[in-house]
Amino acid sequence: MRLYLIILYSLISAFFVSGSDKPNIIFILVDDMGYSDIGCYGGEVATPHLDSLAENGLRFTQMHNTSKCFPTRACLLTGLYAQQNGMHAKYKRFTNSVTLGEVLKGAGYRTLASGKHHSQESLFDRGFDRYFGLLDGATNHFNPGVQREGEVDPARKTINGRGWAIDDKTLRPYTPPEKDFYSTDSYTDYALDYLEEYKGEDKPFFLYLSYTAPHDPLHAWPEDIAKYLDTYEVGYETIRSARYEKMKRLGLVDELSPLSEATHGKWDSLSDRQRKIEVRKMAVYAAMIDRVDQNIGRLIAKLKELGEFENTMIMFASDNGSSAENAEKQGNKETPRVEDGNDIELIGTMGYWASLLEDWANVSNTPFRRYKVNSYQGGLCTPFVVHWPAGIEAKPGSINSTFTGHFIDVMPTLLEITGAEYPSEHRGEHVFPMAGESFLSQLKGEESQRSSPLFWQWKKTKAVRHEKWKALDNGKGWELYDMSQDLTETVNLAEQYPEKLTQLIGMHEAWYASTPAGKE
């Protein structure tokens, strides 16, 4: 009888420990934001809440996305390469995979999502109990739908707006009735409402909060724009240099990360009007990031109100580097262009679709080369902040520059933390084994090297990273870099080490051939 009671007590204890001690998990993702934009990574944009998470948590300098929006999201949510889950070329439905929502729900989590998904199926259908957000890639931040009475026609890429989902409902277009709608605020509103709704539950939660800011169109509230109208009058060179110097002071870069050669134009070569346009664009872009941080502050306040802050693991990252893409001509045909002499203050408003473009993107991605959709670090490397007071054993404010991470690593890390099970089959399909490796040991204070290689491919751009070496091809031939000595990819060693380059190219070819994408 005594043995029976001991066993029963052990089982009951294990049940309560496994349920109540599991951390809440929040992953915050932003869209098209550069490596050095936020304050804790060198930027001049005011991000006090993110800075506080970094100062009391852990920053990684070598975390990677895929350099493109929807493949990155697919990697993050499934723990697989986009070439494995069907999201390598076009955004559609995940195949041969299971999502974080599905596996964590199976481990007893309340699963919540708000924001951009960039898929043909709603997250509500992929393991999330609640979902509000954008199913497409980019949309008007003030009104993603059709013109509302008394307002200007919202700038948009498609005549009927983009697809949205609210739980089991799909809306195309989605025209918010609220005249004060702004995507960043509204995504947060839904997230906070979810936390309030389920606050009494005896189960942890997983919240995926995926902002569309600062992806174009450049839209921000006037009061946020006003903070930065004078900041960028000094031009590209001054801002980029100031960011690099701040990054050195913060310990984010050293002699292994020399400032890459600038590709932006010369500020003094611009006309007075061109400079005013550039200042306005960057001010709006900064304001969008500022507003994201304000909303992260709202989220932190809610966690503290609920008594959940200490045991909530918060992760923050960007889906790719800052974008040099020009979508300005894809707005409404009748929209006037500031380049044609129209009012510069149109930039930032509902009726105007503006893009950041190449010069500021180069500054935004300091100290790296290139931008979104490139295989240089400017396209692939993201700021990555992890804050978890009850679980991180590394010294608060630590910077991990040793571990080479990727979004495919999030799934195995969360499974190790929560004890969730990863299936071999789901919805009648074979599920590929997880492609990443857990970085939980890094949170515990270890700074070990990655054991497995990493691969990237987006259209003609491709890369492979193994140990200290990185080989990449941006469509003009393979290059080779020693990342232990040159994190900013300034010295191409392809001719000096041809055998190593050949080896890495072979690894990439073998990996790609092993995926469904390579068999198409």
Residues 6+ apart with CB under 8 A from 279: 229, 232, 233
Supply the DSSP string of 3-20, one letter for each residue.
Answer: HHHHHHHHHHHHHHHHHH
Tokens matching residue 414? 């969360």
The predicted pLDDT at position 89 comes to: 79
In degrees and rounded to multiples of 5, residue 429 shows phi and psi of -110, 150
Distance CA 161, CA 411 (A): 33
Residue appearing with tokens 């691969």: 455
d(C-alpha 517, C-alpha 520), whole Å:
5
Terminal CA-to-CA distance of the chain, rounded, Å? 63
> Which residues, 6+ apart, have CB-to-CB distance to 151 below 8 Å?
143, 179, 350
pLDDT of 334 reads: 63
Overall CATH class of domain 22-449: alpha beta
pTM passes above 0.85: yes
Element (H, E) at 425: strand 425-426
Q: At what angle do helices 272-305 and 48-55 cross, to 10 degrees?
A: 60
Backbone angles phi, psi at 169, to 5 degrees: -105, 135
The pLDDT value recorded for residue 329 is 61
The confidence score (pLDDT) of residue 156 equals: 87
pLDDT in tens, the chain (520 residues): 444 433 433 343 333 333 458 999 999 999 999 999 999 999 999 999 999 999 999 999 999 999 999 999 999 999 999 999 988 878 888 899 999 999 999 999 999 999 999 888 889 899 999 999 999 999 999 999 999 999 998 998 877 778 999 999 999 999 999 999 999 999 999 999 999 999 989 999 999 999 999 999 999 999 999 999 999 999 999 999 999 999 999 999 998 889 999 999 999 999 999 999 999 999 999 999 999 999 999 999 999 999 999 999 999 999 999 999 998 865 565 667 887 778 999 999 999 999 999 999 999 999 999 999 999 999 999 999 999 999 999 999 999 999 999 999 999 999 999 999 999 998 888 999 999 999 999 999 998 889 899 999 999 999 999 999 999 999 999 999 999 999 999 999 999 999 999 999 999 999 999 999 988 8
353 token code pair: 């679709």
- CA dist 306 to 186, 196, 201, 392, Å? 20, 8, 12, 21
- Read out DSSP for 450-501? PSS-EEEEETTEEEEEETTEEEEESSS-EEEEETTT-TT--S--TTT-HHHH
DSSP character at residue 434? P
Please give the pLDDT value at position 20. 54
Q: What is the dihedral of CA 337, 342, 347, 349, to 10 degrees?
A: -100
Find out whether 65 and 318 touch, Cβ atoms under 8 Å: yes
Please state whether the peptide bond connecting residue 217 to the residue before it is cis, i.e. omega within 30 degrees of 0.
Answer: yes
* Helix axes of 183-197 and 272-305: crossing angle, nearest 10 degrees: 0
From the list 391, 19, 72, the residue with the least C-alpha distance to 205 is: 19
